[in-house]
A = this chain, B = another copy of it.
């Protein structure tokens, strides 16, 4: 049973959202019709969030609407793309107007902020599941890929890591933190800010990029694997929030920063030859990425050092190896 094409969501959006001039035909027909800019490449990304898996029953509907767009825009940012349109596939157990109002407000607000338009989708009945496919644009040949990191490149992250994990651990009563710190961390879990502007300004500067959705180690491994390189991290450089440093000890903070996901900061590499350009760019920017390490030539080796000393991940975190040298979990290197 479908809830009648996209009528349901249409009624929450059509007359309220930002209208882009490149949308020839939006919600309300069999498909959307869209104009494409010249000398550009289209970037398409898709992310799904499932109730009970990616969020729990306490998560506000507005946060779900915000976050499903944010995680997709974060993928566009990691490619260096400028967001344009999103499609929404919404599966809901029943028609709950209060929930739909909050959900669509969260979704609409972040779309409006980034000048992105909802162009269509499908609404169906079933267990709560939200999928967004986002579309963005790049000048031809300017995509920032995962496979471009080279030995000697500097490794950066765009901001503080681990806060979403801090909030989640607090919700699960694995940690106790002050209300003030919890609320700040929870904001990052519920309402993450994709690095849209930074991603675009890294075109021609970064040799590779990825967004941190599954945790720094897990996501960095994708870059190392695709680029056939290794990395050495100086853990004392990893940016941590005040909420983090005042709530847990250094070991816990680093573990959260390395292994908890959902932060949606960018992790990117910059060749020595482009570092001056990056510094010039950042001097004029609100973004303050931090250099946390360097790419090495040993494929699959991730060395963790704290103040120059080898450091060990001590908390079970789903990775196969917990030594200071993490071997990539890939067929090529086994």
Residue A143, interface by CB 8 Å: yes
Q: Does A124 contact B (CB under 8 A)?
A: yes
Is A121 an interface residue when CB atoms closer than 8 A count as contact? Answer: yes
Determine if A29 and B145 form an interchain contact, defined as CB atoms under 8 angstroms apart: yes
A296 close to chain B: CB less than 8 A: no
A45 adjacent to chain B (CB < 8 Å): yes
- Range, interface on chain A: 35 or more
A24: CB under 8 A from chain B? Answer: yes
Query: How many copies altogether?
Result: 2
Which one of B42, B124, B138, B146 lies within 8 Å of A29 (CB-CB)? B146
Tell me the complex Cα distance, A36–B37, Å: 9
Which residues of the partner chain B approach A305 to less than 8 Å between Cβ atoms?
A: none
Q: Which of A35, A135, A146 is the most central at the interface, judged by chain B CB atoms within 10 Å of its CB?
A: A135
> Do residues A24 and B41 form an inter-chain contact, with CB atoms below 8 A?
yes
Partner of A53, one of B25, B126, B143: B126
> Taking the complex as formed, is A43 at the interface, i.e. its CB lies under 8 A from any CB of chain B?
yes
The residue from B5, B34, B50, B88 contacting A222, defined by CB atoms under 8 A apart: B5
CA distance A88 to B41 in the complex (A): 20
Known contacts being A24-B143, A54-B124, A129-B127, is A40 close to B36, with CB within 8 Å? yes
A125 close to B (CB within 8 Å): yes
Task: Tell me the minimal C-beta distance from A267 to chain B in angstroms.
Answer: 11
B25 pairs with A33, CB closer than 8 A: no
Measured CB to CB, the closest approach of chain B to A45, in angstroms, equals 4
Contact with A131, one of B1, B76, B122, B135 (Cβ below 8 angstroms): B122
Let me know if B31 and A79 touch, CB within 8 A. Answer: yes
What distance in Å separates the Cβ of A144 from its nearest Cβ neighbour in chain B? 9
Task: List which A119-153 residues lie within 8 A (CB) of chain B.
Answer: 119-122, 124-127, 129, 131, 133, 135-136, 138, 143, 145-147
| B-facing residues in A16-67 (Cβ within 8 Å) | 24-25, 28-36, 38, 40-54
Determine if B50 and A126 form an interchain contact, defined as CB atoms under 8 angstroms apart. yes
List 15 interface pairs A-B (beta carbons < 8 Å), by A numbering: A2-B54, A24-B143, A29-B145, A29-B147, A29-B226, A30-B211, A31-B43, A31-B78, A31-B81, A44-B135, A46-B87, A47-B122, A48-B124, A50-B124, A53-B125
